[in-house]
Structure 1
Amino acid sequence: MIAEAYRNMYGKDLLIDLKESLSHHFKEVMVGLMYPPASYDAHELWHAMKGADTEENCLIDILASRSNGEIFQMKEAYLLQYNTDLSPDIYSETSGHFRDTLLNLAQGTRQEGYADPAMAAQDAMVLWEACQQKTGEHKTRLQMILCNKSYQQLWMVFQEFQNISGQDIIDAIKECYDGYFQELLVAIVLCVRDKASYFAYRLYNAIHDLGFHNKTIIRILIARSEIDLMTIRQRYKERYGKSLLHDIRHFASGHYEKALLAICAGDAEDY
């Protein structure tokens, strides 16, 4: 609405003016905020795959956490903005079971609001066998369950897995698999359990372990700003003992810092 009013008042495109007038990470934030959520996801996926190197963690963050409806809108936006389908790009830019799992998630066909307690133990056994045998067939079965079963069903499956194996599903995945396939599976499990906690972990990792990885921080703050960012802030404080705003102030500066803080702020007092 602001962009439309800007065009009506000044006869200019606000997005173009922002791109031409700003620079560096401050520009990335301001331009990113102009995209509707689905268009922003599409924008991030496109750039993650079309650069010199594929940004696998961007693909993981987005595809492991979005609902069926969000994925559908994202794919529509991707086609509209780049005149190509998302799935073929994923296929050409990734490989192996990591690629297969991303493609499954990109279908947006996860069951919703359905749970079958009688199937939970059976699904858990499939996951347990997949962690023990690690054949291609078992990896496929594992990712099919994690990508297609409802969150409610997976909650029960993970509990049954603990009962069968005496081990948490995440620990088992980390022991049995590696690379981006492992990271993607773990991200799915964490998002099933609590998406806000997953993104709090990703922000902390980007700020402290990766030396303030700007792309990751900007992407998560913008993408979650109108969804669950306040909850992410709560999880961050609970888990790490410092507020997200404190860590942003410590590592960012200037207009860039103010922009990130403004996204995070829930009210004037917070800001």
Structure 2
Amino acid sequence: MSLTGDMEEYVEVPTVLPAANFDPVADAHALRAAMKGFGTDEQVIIDILCQRSNAQRQAITEAYKKEFGRVEEGSNKKPRQDLIADLKSELGGNFENVIIGLMLPTDEYCAKQLHKAMKGIGTNEDVLVEILCSRPYDEIVKIASAYETMYGNSLESDVQGDTSGPFQRLLVMALQGVRDNYAYDPVKAAEEAQTLYNSGEGQVGTDENAFVEILGHAGQRHAYLIFQEYKKISGKTIEQAMESEMSGEILNGLLAMVKTVHNRPAYFADRLEVAMKGLGTDDDALIRIIVSRCEIDLANIKFEYERIQGRTLLSAVKSEEEAGETSGDYRRALLALIGSA
């Protein structure tokens, strides 16, 4: 990207594409056969549901209901044969989490993850950051709409109830879509870079609110100009400066915004590495990223993962299996979504 705001847009490449010669009725019958009787043929479930687009999975769900739906006797007639219910009854553990995640429309899946992050005691701020600070506003609007339909509360009100301070302001700004992704002003960017320097490195203590207000409003083109100007003033990148001045969820939220301006797939590649490194695997994060990005840009994320880590994402997940972290049907489902190409 140049100082005039010209920016090279990367082409999003998914790993899961719509299946050719798609027949939802045939798929519904194959899934039913895989689950009825003693035992379950998990490979059939993987071969079908991990190799169909989300829209095709929704069509399979409808076909399954029409083909196998039976009604209870009595006044309150309800379909008994529901694909998701049958999958839940047959599967378990992380394999179930992958498959059921795939069966939900992506906006509903993300809404469910946000609700899970906020319900009960405590809040999983990492999930809020990953979903709300890394996505374009059109995706966030769909997620917020799904959230309200599913849970009866607005996503914004629940976020406000579970967070506070500058971090809350950052998330609310993401939900309100205050960024203009097409506007950029080199003069204003230079002024704002100076303000950020004066609010952090240039003084004792850090004014986190200044970072939230400037970066929360800056669209991608304008933010990039700010980052360039900041490095001229400080000699450090904006990421280096924030990491030396802040900590905790506000740092993570701002870094997510900055990193996705530079390279969104690289941000998710980093998140996948964090989920897998060290003792134990953060299966929730691993599943969430792969399931929610496989029809958007998981091929781009794979490319960035290999560039950054020096090994393929496929080999990383396989090595998790060798360490006993991912195994069996769960592993095969992840590998099918990641793809070998």
**What is the TM-score of this pair, normalised by structure 1?**
0.94
Q: Secondary structure at the match of 2:295?
A: coil
Going from structure 1 to structure 2, the CA distance change for 1:117 and 1:51 (only over 3 Å counts) comes to: same
Q: Secondary structure at the match of 2:277?
A: helix
Inter-partner Cα distance in structure 1 for 2:130 and 2:191: 28
User: Which residue is equivalent to 1:73?
Assistant: 142
What letter corresponds to residue 187 of structure 2 in structure 1?
Answer: A
What letter corresponds to residue 148 of structure 1 in structure 2?
Answer: H
| Residues 1-150 of structure 1: pairs in structure 2 closer than 5 A | 1-11=59-69, 12-132=81-201, 133=203, 138-150=207-219
Alpha-carbon deviation of 1:210?
A: 5.8
Going from structure 1 to structure 2, the CA distance change for 1:259 and 1:51 (only over 3 Å counts) comes to: farther
What letter corresponds to residue 260 of structure 1 in structure 2?
Answer: L
Inter-partner Cα distance in structure 2 for 1:113 and 1:151: 8
What letter corresponds to residue 329 of structure 2 in structure 1?
Answer: H
What letter corresponds to residue 154 of structure 2 in structure 1?
Answer: D
Deviations 1:48-87 (A, max 9, x none): 1114331111111001111111111111000000000111
What letter corresponds to residue 9 of structure 1 in structure 2?
Answer: E
Inter-partner Cα distance in structure 2 for 1:223 and 1:144: 28
Q: Secondary structure at the match of 2:236?
A: coil
What letter corresponds to residue 262 of structure 1 in structure 2?
Answer: A
Going from structure 1 to structure 2, the CA distance change for 1:120 and 1:95 (only over 3 Å counts) comes to: same
Inter-partner Cα distance in structure 1 for 2:266 and 2:64: 37
Alpha-carbon deviation of 1:233?
A: 0.4
Q: Does 1:204 align with 2:273?
A: yes
Q: Does 1:255 align with 2:329?
A: yes
Do the aligned partners of 1:6 and 1:14 also contact (CA within 8 Å) in 2? yes
Do the aligned partners of 1:43 and 1:78 also contact (CA within 8 Å) in 2? yes
Question: Structure 2 regions of 5+ residues with no counterpart?
Answer: 1-58, 70-80, 321-325
Alpha-carbon deviation of 1:134?
A: 7.0
Going from structure 1 to structure 2, the CA distance change for 1:215 and 1:51 (only over 3 Å counts) comes to: farther
Inter-partner Cα distance in structure 1 for 2:200 and 2:278: 28
Deviations 1:153-194 (A, max 9, x none): 111110000001111100100111111111111111111100
User: Which residue is equivalent to 2:287?
Assistant: 218
Alpha-carbon deviation of 1:89?
A: 1.0
Residue from 120, 133, 151 that aligns with 2:220 = 151
Alpha-carbon deviation of 1:135?
A: 6.6
Do the aligned partners of 1:134 and 1:176 also contact (CA within 8 Å) in 2? no
Question: Structure 1 regions of 5+ residues with no counterpart?
Answer: none
Alpha-carbon deviation of 1:145?
A: 1.6
Alpha-carbon deviation of 1:211?
A: 2.3
Q: Identify the structure with the greater helix proportion.
A: 1
Identity among equivalent pairs (%): 36
Do the aligned partners of 1:236 and 1:243 also contact (CA within 8 Å) in 2? yes
Inter-partner Cα distance in structure 1 for 2:279 and 2:226: 33
Going from structure 1 to structure 2, the CA distance change for 1:134 and 1:214 (only over 3 Å counts) comes to: farther
Alpha-carbon deviation of 1:96?
A: 2.1
Alpha-carbon deviation of 1:209?
A: 3.3
Inter-partner Cα distance in structure 2 for 1:9 and 1:64: 42
Inter-partner Cα distance in structure 1 for 2:216 and 2:66: 45
Going from structure 1 to structure 2, the CA distance change for 1:126 and 1:223 (only over 3 Å counts) comes to: same
Inter-partner Cα distance in structure 2 for 1:116 and 1:90: 31
Deviations 1:106-128 (A, max 9, x none): 21221122211121101111211
Q: Secondary structure at the match of 1:209?
A: coil
What letter corresponds to residue 110 of structure 1 in structure 2?
Answer: R
Q: Does 1:236 align with 2:305?
A: yes
Alpha-carbon deviation of 1:105?
A: 1.2
Going from structure 1 to structure 2, the CA distance change for 1:134 and 1:86 (only over 3 Å counts) comes to: farther
> Greater RCO between the two (CA within 8 Å, min separation 6)?
2
What letter corresponds to residue 288 of structure 2 in structure 1?
Answer: R
